Structure 1
Amino acid sequence: MAVRGALVNWENSMYKMALNCVATWMVLWMLPIPRGFGQVSPAFPAAKTGGNYMHNYYLPPPSTTPWYPAWSPNGEEIAFSMQGSIWKIRLGTTTACELTAAATYDSSPAWSPDGRWIVYTAEDDSRDISLRILNLSTGATSALTSGTDINVDPVWSADGERIAYVSTRDDGWFNIFVMPITDGKAGELTRLTTADDYGKDRLYFGRKDLHIEPTWSPDGKEIIFLSNHGIPLGSGALWRMPAEPLGMAKATMIRREETLYRTRPDWSPDGTRIIYSSHQGGQYDNLFVLPVSGGEPYKMTFGDWDHFCPRWSPDGRRIVYVSNQHGLTELRILEAFGGAETKVEIAEKRYRRPMGRLEVRVNDAETHRTTAARIYVRASDGKTYTPNDAYHRVGRAGEHLFHTSGTSTLRAPAGPMRIEAVKGFEYWPAASEVTIRANEVTRLTLNLARMSHMAAQGWYSGSMHVHMNYGGTLHNTPENLMKMAAAEDMPVIGELIANKDNRILDYQFFRGELDPHSTKDRLLYFNEEYRPPWYGHISLLNLTAHLISPFTTGYEGTAIESLYPSNTDILRLAHAQGAIGGYVHPYQKEPSEAEYAGARGLPVDVALGTVDYLELMSGSDHIATSRVWHRILNCGFKIPVVGGEDSISNLYRTALVGVNRTYAYLGARLDWQGWIEAIRKGRTFATNGPLLEFNIDGKEEGEEIHLPAQGKRVSVRARMISIVPVEKAEILNNGKVVEALPLRDDAKSAELTKEIDVRKSGWYTLRVYGTHAVHPVDDPYPFAESSPIYVHCGGRPIRSEEDARYFLTWIDAISRMAAEDRGWRSEGEKAHVLSQFQEARKVFEQRLREAQP
């Protein structure tokens, strides 16, 4: 047993300095600010399909570096998006010229065949995306669409009289429309597709069909596009249809493969083939050519990185595309015959508005050394600008940001700028306002004052749910993952190798031991997420021999559609390697209201002793998940909690690494096996910001107290400190609030020392939370909860009749569901899994009997 010291010394001079820093920070961030700070609103609400994967794989990113190229009609220039604007560059030069500059994030240029116009997308910061048209002679832009819809994928017909594009207009589903264009003005629309009903929900895609990414035939009579019409998995197949009203009715499929939005077909100028991007079951997207009538694709690029957005040159001899070989994206040109490849170098940028330069340095206020951090920037136009070597990110809360190693330089429009540095949960954020002056350099140092030092008390933080590469625009590496964790002040990275549909990402990094990039201060271990949609996803930590296949089950229309093996089987295989396992991102609401989806198999594995922890905080609702967890504890099962945000860290729009994390007590030394043992023993708490200290009679999380049968008074000590204000700090006993910690005036700290009466066996946790989003917590609301301290009176077990019945109902429901499932390969498989369910049921029946008087 180790009783930690205070989270912070209240009279410490550094703490007083920190309060002054945070007071300044609060004043700055109470000033009027653009929408997005401190709010969590659904991104792109007009779209009824897709969610996070659609946002990242399909919609245009606000990229620091080049994205979405388009040729000029004469083949001498390329237009592209970069830093939220449309740019062009003349081949053979290294100077890029900015063509648009607005408060929107502009992307997806399409150059008209006569060279006079560029149609492009303009995103109103996660709310809607409109089409605009740029007059290249005058520089003026005007709107082609209006309203709050998503309008993307513009492409000109060869005669320059029409554009085809994709819109959610009318019904919220992605469909293809044709818009006549006369002298830069939009004409009456023609709808080519409708959202047919598949008949049931599809994994990640729902019931309604989507139709996206059109490309015209050279004669303007046909369109090739992507659609999941009649297809159970992925964004669909390549189809060909006449460019006429409701042409989908006459469409024919020319290539069926499992896609994920990245396809971007482009019809060749000679009309015989298309170029497109495909992963074809591998980790990375490469370029392929395919006859327009169908047939076998032929691979054009090779490499362990991605190749996106291919476009034929007007003469058909070259292909421009986007590569992420070196991490961030860059433009490359591939000779269609000969294979020579050239990078489009950008050495100089010519802006169409006054720009200045910001040099920012982040220091640790105590050591005066530079330190890595998360950076928020809002320029005078309301947008975020990032350094050339930084990945532009949008967090779970919808806020734009980047990570710095300590010093960064960026360009931004002249005018006022707000900038903030954030470093994990143990430093107060630091913010400032500066004025950017045209053609000048502004220098700023932000000092981060330490709020707490948990490692000094033996407590270390880590995320148990990080993905490195997952089909995003960034080609991520272990080195970069370590830098991101440093910026978020997180010593432990539990990376999870996983499938995304029919491919396995980052499997080559598995070692069965710490990754060699680990240091004495930061640990990286490649683990596994096993992702069956029916049972619920589980993480497997500390695998030492090999990854566990088939990585998932229950995928409709595949050879792994069966619900065999069960999660129980997989968890037992993991245990045989010395690993631990638990359910991740479990519930968005009360499970019985959603057919127990999210972590459907949880009570089975709790009863059978195969689950070691529950990921209380992740991409799910913390309160809804905690209610289920409390019921489990009430039945006498000792299940600790961990946190892991499910950061897919090479996506631009994702939860940030470490925003939901685990704190575990390791003592004097950071050690991977110590970390695993701390989770096994329940020496943990999960948090997205608030830091906890909790003990009863000197016992901490995961420990037990044994009292006489009649019970006795015990001494409770609870403390909380947080970088953001909270609304409640409470001690729970068997899920009910028994004590409230009085919050200090700023609602960022609380403390309670009190004796309480204990008369029956039970568990106790410390919970802290708010009810709304608070910047810079990248989550819907602040939250933290400790693993339990267990108190036993007279050796009596912890039992609940109500909660035992709850889980019996649950197991009965999923047993019926499993029995009716059509994916079983044999009766033997079904019998095996159903017998596990019945074995778990017997355990809860026994707990029910023990709960009754």
Structure 2
Amino acid sequence: VWLRALEKGTGRPVSVKLHVHGEVGEYLAPVDRHRIPNPAWFEDYSVDFSHWGRHYCTYIPGETRINLPLGRVYLEVSKGFEIAPIRKMVDVTADTEEIVAEIEKVLPWRERGWVSADTHVHFLSPMSALLEGSAEGVNVVNLLASQWGELMTNVGDFDGKTTWGSKEAGGDGEYLVRVGTENRQHILGHISLLGYEGNIISPMTTGGPDESALGDPIEVLLTEWARQCHKQGGLVILPHFPNPRGENAAALVSGEVDGVEMTSWGSLYDGINPYSLSDWYRYLNNGYMVAAVGGTDKMSATTAVGTVRTYARVVGSEQGIDYSAWMDAVRRAETFVTYGPLLEFAVEGKPAGTRIAMSARGGTVDVTWNVASVTIPISRVDLIVNGEVRESVAAGPWAAEGHWSVRIDRSSWIALLVRGHYADKPEIIAAHSSPVMVQVEGSPFYAAADAVTILEQIEGAMAYLDTIGTRAETRAYKRMRLVLESAHRRLHNRMHAQGHFHEHTAATDHPEHHR
């Protein structure tokens, strides 16, 4: 039987995620797909989604051939967060030659300039990533080369220039794949370097197992990798934020990070981790404004591309997406992260990523928002101001809108948080916007307790480099030590300017505290 997924209104074949099962629940795979998808790490990369063995799916480019039993057959067809998913039963007879599923777009976020992306995918080939991304409605898939001890992955796919699926590469410009790198150190942390041009930034890992090879010294810092990525025109993301958290603080304080990534870890039901948000809030509270992005860290068929994803507004992208313009949208933080619900949010008519100046008297700002979903039912919308819930309203389940007037007396950041849950699952944080920063004259973005925590993290990175980290040659060690000291001094001087007393480690004590 030919099974076809066609776009409503045009009849055009479209890539989709497909699940088919028979009357007793047996999975029915297309003739060229696994009947039992392999969930193991770096073993098999057929274009399948195993959902931890609970609900097998595969990806098709609009049509496929499938052997079906006579009788009732059950189909599920989906394509991301803007297309109404289809679930239907078909009676298959000896005369059945074709089954058609008509795909309908119901949420117009793409038409409004929003571009979806997964910032963190491993191991797939570029063509497999292009199929899985398009079938999941993910416009931009960032496929990351890396090193795992003596294993190098996707390095042959990196050329520092090609964006698969772009019009320049012969595609239609609607679904793209770009190969970058995830550069990693097992204590200091990981950093994703996206979209840069030229030579691959190496070494991709350092400091020994599990990331680099046994005995490798610490040769380079995350902050240095980030600076090199920016020099080569790329975008810098801290993946699966904040873990590992050794050098994150220094890189953020140094201004070398464009976004922090909320990661699904293969789970459809856990939502955005509150721990990730709380650490991100520390930096926002101190004025370090970086975008929120979503990436899956997909490394096997147990994770679907775009389970959690980034939406970034790219003006003029309706006729084809330019990867550089997508990077610019993330840099200015006009983004939100989502497990399903889509949102639009503005403060005084200005989108996420905007900085608004206010006089010393402060004032009232008007916050407007709307949310919609075709996947996870929405339950509540919260307004977050400086990391705390300022307003909250029950909403949903499929759409809601509203506005609030918010009094601002000191410099504040404002963002939107959306909660939701499936009928049989607990409530989760299902979506979160990047913030609007409201700067009140004479009121710096500064939260003393958070600043101390950030400073202590930088001191921890310095202590690791000084002590148990495998020592590189003296010149390299001194170079890296100066990078960390520079970030430490930058924040430390801010704290002194605010008159904030704080404890020091023996390595960072100084005479001013003993006068």
TM-score (norm 1): 0.52
Residue 318 of structure 2 corresponds to residue 665 of structure 1? no
Inter-CA distance 788–375: structure 2 relative to 1 (3 Å threshold): same
Alignment partner for residue 386 of structure 2, among 731, 734, 741?
734
Alignment partner for residue 713 of structure 1, among 364, 381, 387?
364
Alignment partner for residue 421 of structure 1, among 48, 71, 77?
77
Alignment partner for residue 55 of structure 2, among 396, 399, 402?
399
Q: Distance in 2 between matches of 1:782 and 1:671?
A: 30
Residue 303 of structure 2 corresponds to residue 655 of structure 1? yes
Equivalences for residues 342-381 of structure 1 within 5 A: 359-381=2-24
Residue 482 of structure 2 corresponds to residue 835 of structure 1? yes
Q: Distance in 1 between matches of 2:32 and 2:70?
A: 21
Alignment partner for residue 602 of structure 1, among 245, 248, 256?
248
> In the alignment, which residue of structure 1 is the partner of 2:352?
701
Inter-CA distance 375–759: structure 2 relative to 1 (3 Å threshold): same
Query: 3-state SS of the aligned residue for 1:740?
Result: strand
CA displacement, residues 17-61 of structure 1 (integer Å, 9 cap, x when unaligned): xxxxxxxxxxxxxxxxxxxxxxxxxxxxxxxxxxxxxxxxxxxxx
Residue 174 of structure 2 corresponds to residue 521 of structure 1? yes
Residue 436 of structure 1 and its aligned partner are, at CA, apart by 4.7
Query: 3-state SS of the aligned residue for 1:363?
Result: strand
Identity level (%)? 26
Alignment partner for residue 753 of structure 1, among 370, 392, 403?
403
Equivalences for residues 167-566 of structure 1 within 5 A: 359-390=2-33, 391=46, 392-395=48-51, 398-413=54-69, 416-436=72-92, 441=96, 443-469=98-124, 476=125, 478-515=126-163, 517-518=165-166, 519=171, 520-556=173-209, 558=213, 561-566=216-221
Inter-CA distance 774–514: structure 2 relative to 1 (3 Å threshold): farther
Report the AA paired with residue 647 of structure 1.
Answer: K
Q: Distance in 2 between matches of 1:674 and 1:515?
A: 13
Q: Retained in 2: the 8 A contact 1:362–1:371?
A: yes
Report the AA paired with residue 29 of structure 2.
Answer: T
Q: Retained in 2: the 8 A contact 1:685–1:786?
A: yes
Residue 569 of structure 1 and its aligned partner are, at CA, apart by 1.6
Residue 517 of structure 1 and its aligned partner are, at CA, apart by 4.0
Q: Is the radius of gyration larger for structure 1 or structure 2?
A: 1
Report the AA paired with residue 487 of structure 1.
Answer: A
> In the alignment, which residue of structure 1 is the partner of 2:464?
817
Residue 314 of structure 2 corresponds to residue 683 of structure 1? no
Q: Distance in 1 between matches of 2:148 and 2:91?
A: 44
CA displacement, residues 111-146 of structure 1 (integer Å, 9 cap, x when unaligned): xxxxxxxxxxxxxxxxxxxxxxxxxxxxxxxxxxxx
Alignment partner for residue 793 of structure 1, among 440, 463, 481?
440
CA displacement, residues 2-28 of structure 1 (integer Å, 9 cap, x when unaligned): xxxxxxxxxxxxxxxxxxxxxxxxxxx
Residue 617 of structure 1 and its aligned partner are, at CA, apart by 3.3
Q: Retained in 2: the 8 A contact 1:396–1:656?
A: no
Q: Retained in 2: the 8 A contact 1:773–1:781?
A: no
CA displacement, residues 250-296 of structure 1 (integer Å, 9 cap, x when unaligned): xxxxxxxxxxxxxxxxxxxxxxxxxxxxxxxxxxxxxxxxxxxxxxx
For these two proteins, the number of residue pairs brought into alignment is 471
Q: Distance in 2 between matches of 1:567 and 1:774?
A: 41
Report the AA paired with residue 106 of structure 2.
Answer: M
CA displacement, residues 710-734 of structure 1 (integer Å, 9 cap, x when unaligned): 1111111011111221333211011
Query: 3-state SS of the aligned residue for 1:836?
Result: helix
Residue 494 of structure 1 and its aligned partner are, at CA, apart by 1.8
Q: Distance in 1 between matches of 2:487 and 2:98?
A: 63
Query: 3-state SS of the aligned residue for 2:265?
Result: coil
Residue 634 of structure 1 and its aligned partner are, at CA, apart by 0.5
Residue 402 of structure 2 corresponds to residue 765 of structure 1? no
Q: Distance in 2 between matches of 1:737 and 1:780?
A: 16
Residue 360 of structure 1 and its aligned partner are, at CA, apart by 2.8
Residue 757 of structure 1 and its aligned partner are, at CA, apart by 1.4
Inter-CA distance 780–834: structure 2 relative to 1 (3 Å threshold): farther
Residue 365 of structure 1 and its aligned partner are, at CA, apart by 2.9
Inter-CA distance 374–852: structure 2 relative to 1 (3 Å threshold): farther
Q: Retained in 2: the 8 A contact 1:635–1:798?
A: yes
Report the AA paired with residue 820 of structure 1.
Answer: T
CA displacement, residues 531-560 of structure 1 (integer Å, 9 cap, x when unaligned): 222222211112111101111012249466
Please say which of residues 410-419 and 731-740 is displaced more in the overlay.
410-419
> In the alignment, which residue of structure 2 is the partner of 1:585?
240
CA displacement, residues 455-491 of structure 1 (integer Å, 9 cap, x when unaligned): 321211122212244xxxxxx4x33332222211222
Q: Retained in 1: the 8 A contact 2:377–2:422?
A: no
Residue 396 of structure 1 and its aligned partner are, at CA, apart by 6.1
CA displacement, residues 170-203 of structure 1 (integer Å, 9 cap, x when unaligned): xxxxxxxxxxxxxxxxxxxxxxxxxxxxxxxxxx
Q: Distance in 2 between matches of 1:373 and 1:646?
A: 21
Query: 3-state SS of the aligned residue for 2:306?
Result: coil
Q: Retained in 2: the 8 A contact 1:360–1:408?
A: yes
Inter-CA distance 420–673: structure 2 relative to 1 (3 Å threshold): same
Higher relative contact order (CA 8 A, sep 6+): 2
Inter-CA distance 658–705: structure 2 relative to 1 (3 Å threshold): same
Report the AA paired with residue 256 of structure 2.
Answer: T
Inter-CA distance 812–540: structure 2 relative to 1 (3 Å threshold): same
Please say which of residues 511-520 and 621-630 is displaced more in the overlay.
511-520
The two structures, once aligned, show a CA RMSD in angstroms of 2.7
Report the AA paired with residue 752 of structure 1.
Answer: G
Inter-CA distance 719–822: structure 2 relative to 1 (3 Å threshold): closer
CA displacement, residues 318-370 of structure 1 (integer Å, 9 cap, x when unaligned): xxxxxxxxxxxxxxxxxxxxxxxxxxxxxxxxxxxxxxxx5433232343433
Residue 435 of structure 1 and its aligned partner are, at CA, apart by 4.1
Q: Distance in 1 between matches of 2:160 and 2:213?
A: 29
Residue 772 of structure 1 and its aligned partner are, at CA, apart by 6.7
Q: Distance in 1 between matches of 2:55 and 2:178?
A: 29
Report the AA paired with residue 526 of structure 1.
Answer: V
Structure 2: stretches of 5+ with no match in the other structure: 34-45, 267-271, 501-515
TM-score (norm 2): 0.84
CA displacement, residues 484-507 of structure 1 (integer Å, 9 cap, x when unaligned): 222112222222122233132222
Alignment partner for residue 431 of structure 2, among 765, 784, 789?
784
Q: Distance in 2 between matches of 1:852 and 1:725?
A: 47
Q: Distance in 1 between matches of 2:22 and 2:428?
A: 26
Residue 604 of structure 1 and its aligned partner are, at CA, apart by 0.9
CA displacement, residues 727-754 of structure 1 (integer Å, 9 cap, x when unaligned): 332110111111124313xx22221123
Query: 3-state SS of the aligned residue for 2:26?
Result: coil
Residue 455 of structure 2 corresponds to residue 808 of structure 1? yes
Q: Retained in 2: the 8 A contact 1:377–1:418?
A: yes
Inter-CA distance 619–780: structure 2 relative to 1 (3 Å threshold): farther
Query: 3-state SS of the aligned residue for 1:380?
Result: coil
Report the AA paired with residue 187 of structure 2.
Answer: W
Q: Distance in 2 between matches of 1:441 and 1:570?
A: 57
Q: Distance in 1 between matches of 2:80 and 2:459?
A: 43
